[in-house]
Structure 1
Amino acid sequence: MPTAREALLDAALGALAHRPWSAVRMADLATTARVSRQTLYNEFGSKEGLARALVRREADAYLQGVRRLLAAPAPPERNLVVVAEWIVTRAATRPVLRALLTGAWNERLPAPRPARPGARPAAVPAQRRADEGPPAPGELVAATAACAGERWAAGCELAVRLALSHVVAPAVPLPTGPGEAGQCEEPDSWSPITPTMTRLIETILSVETTSPRKIIP
């Protein structure tokens, strides 16, 4: 059974799927999570504190997922490809994570600002950590690479950056019908990742992780 804090964060994430953050009401979240409003404010302090906690949880869950995939009993190169595929797929369905990884926040999402300088520290330890603010995209990429250990950190960072290039500019089916060439309409949907993208990641990682390093004078 989730704790009150987790239930409230789940309620906030669920509400965010249907309305912009500015329209999310604290009272509604407390009702959905079946806790009192006082419990909500005891945990997060304010709606801004809740936003910081929600963003921090997305970052933590992302890094936990990366560690789990990298620990799989498979060749490290293959695990890096799996991580890249997972990042693209997860970012496609989780707007907060996508914004964390790319820095592309919009008005529908909670503003990722740290607590005001000089503000009273939160009573809840998890909230004190959240109030420090979310990691910047570069910091999150570095933390992802660190999950792979020193031997594979560079390859992991490369895999992440290749995945993020697809997150920012996803592949869409090219027009094939008569008279469709040159159209620039927004697609109804797009594949989170394509076989071509997977092969590209595999090829680049293979070269990067097996070729001897060249020192340029």
Structure 2
Amino acid sequence: MPTARESLLEAAGAALAARPWPAVRMIDVAAAAGVSRQTLYNEFAGKTGLGHALVRRDAAWYLDGVDRALSAPGAGGAPGAAAEGAVAVAEWTVRAGRERPLVRALLTGCWNGDLPVPAGRGVRPGLPALGPDELIRGVRERAGAAFGAGERGGGREGAQRCELAVRIALSYLIAPAEQPGTGLAGLLRLLSATSPRAGAR
């Protein structure tokens, strides 16, 4: 059974999917979660805290998907695993960014008034804000761990490939292809292939 916090986050996420964040009312979120408004305030201290928690939840959801993409069949020490992992992470990045506006904003750094903002953004200068750098660092760390014992070049090469793949995927989020998904996997496989010249060095 979900906790009150989880129920409130689910209700807030559903409310955000239906209307812009400024129109989301705390009383409606509490009612949808089946808890009192006081419980909501006890958990999040207010709408700003609830918004920050939603942003963190979607960031964690995205990175959990990265873990799943990196652990898909063919990952690990198999030949070509880093290239296949990079393609899977890129495809997940595009899918996640299209599915959840908060993930898209986190990945691209493009925020608007319809979304809650992460802690540190628009509050006080100098406070760290969750954004593209933190998520890409998370992808790099996960790829490095996943491919640490894999192909020649180890985790560092896998991490670099995944970072490049995510950066290319972000261009698909910002300027989508005419047909969703067109060419992304092929482009990434081409970029991930070892060039004959690189092999000769």
* Residues 213/29 of structure 1: CA separation in 2 closer, same or farther (3 Å cut): farther
User: Residue type matched to 1:11 in 2?
Assistant: A
In structure 1, the partner of 2:113 is 107
- 1:166 lines up with 2:153 in the alignment: no
* 1:135 aligned counterpart, secondary structure: coil
CA distance in 2, matches of 1:5, 1:213: 56
Task: Give the number of equivalent residue pairs.
Answer: 180
The verdict on how the C-alpha distance between 1:103 and 1:213 changes in structure 2, with shifts beyond 3 A counting, is: farther
* Superposition deviation, residue 213 in structure 1: 10
State the AA in 1 paired with 2:177.
A
- For 1:176, the equivalent position in structure 2 comes to none
Rounded Cα–Cα distance in structure 2 between residues aligned with 1:25 and 1:67: 34
Does 2:55 align with 1:55?
yes
Contact 2:98–2:173 under 8 Å retained in 1: yes
1:137 and 1:21 map into 2 onto residues whose CA distance is 21
Higher gyration radius (CA): 1
* Counterpart code for 1:200: L
Q: 1:155 aligned to 2:161?
A: yes
- The reply to whether residue 138 of structure 1 matches residue 133 of structure 2 is yes
> Counterpart in 2 of 1:206?
193
- Which residue of 81, 88, 92 maps to 1:86? 92
Q: Would the alpha carbon gap of residues 155 and 32 (structure 1) be closer, same or farther in structure 2, given more than 3 Å must change?
A: same
Is 1:65 aligned with 2:65? yes
Gaps of 5+ in 2: 75-80, 145-154
Instruction: Give the drift of 1:136.
Output: 2.2
Equivalent position SS for 2:189: helix
State the superposition RMSD in angstroms.
2.2
SS in structure 2 of the partner of residue 104 of structure 1: coil
Q: Which amino acid aligns with 1:207?
A: T
Provide closer, same or farther for how the CA distance between residues 168 and 39 of structure 1 changes in structure 2, counting only shifts above 3 A.
Answer: same
Letter in 2 for 1:197: L
Partner of 2:193: helix, strand, or coil? helix
Normalised to the residue count of structure 1, the TM-score between the two structures is 0.76
Which piece of structure 1 moves more, 23-32 or 62-71? Answer: 62-71
- Deviation string 1:11-70 (CA, Å, 9 cap, x unpaired) is 111111111100100000000000111111111011000000000011111111101211
Q: TM-score, normalised by structure 2?
A: 0.82
